[in-house]
Structures are given as C-alpha cells and as structure tokens.
Amino acid sequence: AGYLDSWVVWPFYWFAQGILFCALFAIGHDCGHGSFSNSNKLNDVVGHILHSSILVPYHAWRTSHKLHHANHAHADNDETWRPVSETTYRSMSNLSRMFRYTAPFPL
C-alpha cells in the first residue's frame, strides 16, 4: 500500500476524481432538467444528493440554470454568459482579454 502514497500516483488520482466529479455533475444536470427520471421527486432527491457530494447547491443551481436557458445568449438577461461591448473589449488590456475567456470565474 506504500506505493499508493507516492507523489507519482496523485496526478492520476486527481484526473480520475475530476472525471468522476464531471459525471456526478452531468447526472445532477439531467436531474435538474427532469430527464433523469419521470418522477420529479426522484429527480430532485438524486440531483440534491449528487450535487451536494460535489459541493454544488442543487436547488439554487437548478433555479439559476432555468433562468440561463430562458435567456440563453441574451446580452442583458443571461446570467451565465455576459458579453462585453466592442468598446469595452478594445479598452481592455491584453491580459484582461486573455483572462476574460480563459479564467474559470467571471471577470
């Protein structure tokens, strides 16, 4: 069991854990859309358990996600994707432009 504590093994574990977390989120996402089961209650219970296991608040996410779908790609109302005007974009530094589209959080 000592070989499992090697620093070489950890990146493989992190990769596998990331894949698992993505899978748990994807199933929870299907629950939020009501496509996991015909039962709304089962969708909510499974979605809550799965999203809680990856520290995503299921009901708050589901509400926000429904708003996102209702306003998808709308420049003013989509809360997930917020475009910037051309004027604002041109005034941004190159570093800000790069991070605008690569950072895992909104700028």
Based on the domain organization, do 42 and 81 belong to the same domain?
no
Is residue 44 situated within a structural domain? Answer: yes
Based on the domain organization, do 51 and 97 belong to the same domain?
no
Question: Hunting for tokens 């926000």 — which residue is that?
Answer: 64
Is residue 63 situated within a structural domain? Answer: no
User: Can you give the pLDDT at residue 77?
Assistant: 83
Based on the domain organization, do 6 and 41 belong to the same domain?
yes
User: Can you give the pLDDT at residue 63?
Assistant: 93
pLDDT tens track for 20-48: 999 999 999 999 999 999 999 999 999 99
Is residue 26 situated within a structural domain? Answer: yes
pTM of the model: 0.72
Based on the domain organization, do 9 and 50 belong to the same domain?
yes
Based on the domain organization, do 2 and 36 belong to the same domain?
yes
Q: Which domain holds residue 23?
A: 1-57
Based on the domain organization, do 53 and 90 belong to the same domain?
no
Please, how many CA atoms are within 13 Å of residue 44, restricted to the half-sphere of its CB? 6
Cβ distance 46 to 36 under 8 Å?
A: yes
Is residue 65 situated within a structural domain? Answer: no
Residues in the chain, overall count? 107
Rounded CA-CA distance 28/87 in Å is 39
Is residue 19 situated within a structural domain? Answer: yes
Task: Point out the least confidently predicted range of 24-38, 47-61, 89-103.
Answer: 89-103
Count: domains in the chain = 2
